[in-house]
């Protein structure tokens, strides 16, 4: 059985832009719909379909999470931040242990 070659170019275009955008805006929810990120390419039906599929895949893999404020509003998750070398739980533990909290 021969291996099937999978073209990841369309995936990469959307995935990299989505994750980079959300990481740059963290922790704020951010619009990542096709028109938000690829406004000049509205007529590219294949790219739009791939973008929708990428969002579904990233959600399924828990790299992004839907924010209920808007249809295309998302945040990057802990797993998504890990792609950028960030450990948000470790960061918070350091902050809690290094600062005196007054409640």
In terms of pTM, does the model score above 0.75? yes
Using pLDDT thresholds of 50, 70 and 90, give the confidence band for residue 98.
confident
Chain segment 24-79, per-residue pLDDT in tens? 999 999 999 999 999 899 899 999 999 999 999 999 999 999 987 788 899 999 99
For the chain, which domains are there? 9-98 (1.10.10)
Say how far apart CA 30 and CA 32 lie, in whole Å.
6
Q: What are phi and psi of 64, to 5 degrees?
A: -135, 160
What pLDDT sits at residue 65?
A: 96
What pLDDT sits at residue 101?
A: 52
Chain segment 2-25, per-residue pLDDT in tens? 788 888 999 999 999 999 999 999
């Amino acid at each position: 059985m021969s291996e099937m070659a999978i073209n990841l170019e369309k995936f990469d275009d959307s995935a990299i832009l989505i994750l980079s955008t959300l990481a740059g805006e963290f922790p704020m929810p951010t619009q990542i719909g096709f028109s938000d990120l690829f406004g000049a390419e509205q007529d590219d039906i294949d790219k739009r379909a791939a973008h929708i599929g990428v969002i579904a895949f990233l959600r399924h893999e828990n790299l992004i999470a839907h924010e209920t404020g808007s249809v295309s509003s998302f945040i990057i998750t802990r797993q998504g931040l890990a792609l950028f070398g960030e450990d948000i739980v470790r960061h918070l533990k350091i902050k809690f242990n290094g600062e005196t909290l007054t409640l």
